Amino acid sequence: MNHSNWTPALFASIDAKDADRFLSYLSDDATFRFANQPAAIGHRAIGEAVDGFFAAIGASRHEVSTVWTPGDAVICQRQVTYTRHDGSVLSVPFINVFDMAGALIRHYSIYIDASALFSPAPQAEARAMQPLH
């Protein structure tokens, strides 16, 4: 099976903030880890984690340039652009690794440095660092 064919639809479900559609790509006993956060296990825990993340951001847009499918794994690389609730944006590279169980993802790992996502936007930081007159 060529797993890379469904990756655009998977990322579209994320960018649409559609947790139910996102979960349809995962096995019932899947594990999901976003960066250095604790892993969520099973649809209920993953759905709660994903819904919480979706609520914390304004929007996301994934641009996937490369997909590898070695054996029972799928590896996706490129960039995601997050829009914060204040309208500022952050673009960062990412790599996702999916360990597959047939047509479903059994282990979903996101390798990303999103530490700046919930930090003040660069413009606010620059204003805050200017001397007072």
Q: What is the DSSP string of 79-91?
A: EEEEE-TTS-EEE
pLDDT tens figures, 4-36: 578 999 999 999 999 999 999 999 999 999 999
Instruction: Retrieve residue 67's tokens.
Output: 């997909």
pLDDT over 70 (residue 127): no
What is the overall mean pLDDT for the chain? 88
pTM as predicted: 0.85
Burial of 121 (0-12, 13-18, 19+ CB in 10 A): middle
Exposure string for 25-60, b = 16+ CB within 10 A, e = fewer: bbbeebbbbbeeeeebeebeebbebbeebbeebeeb
β-strand partners of 74: 98
β-strand partners of 41: 31
What pLDDT is attached to residue 2?
A: 58
State the CATH class of domain 3-129: alpha beta
Q: Is 7 helix (H, G, I), strand (E, B) or coil?
A: helix
All structural domains of the chain with their residue ranges: 3-129
Share above pLDDT 90 across residues of the chain, in percent, rounded to a whole number: 78
Averaged pLDDT, 50-70: 94
The band of 122, judged by pLDDT with boundaries at 50, 70 and 90, is: low
pLDDT over 90 (residue 64): no
pLDDT over 60 (residue 131): no
pLDDT tens figures, 109-120: 999 998 999 886
The enclosing H or E element of 54 equals helix 42-56
pLDDT over 80 (residue 1): no
* C-alpha–C-alpha distance, residues 19 and 16, integer Å: 9
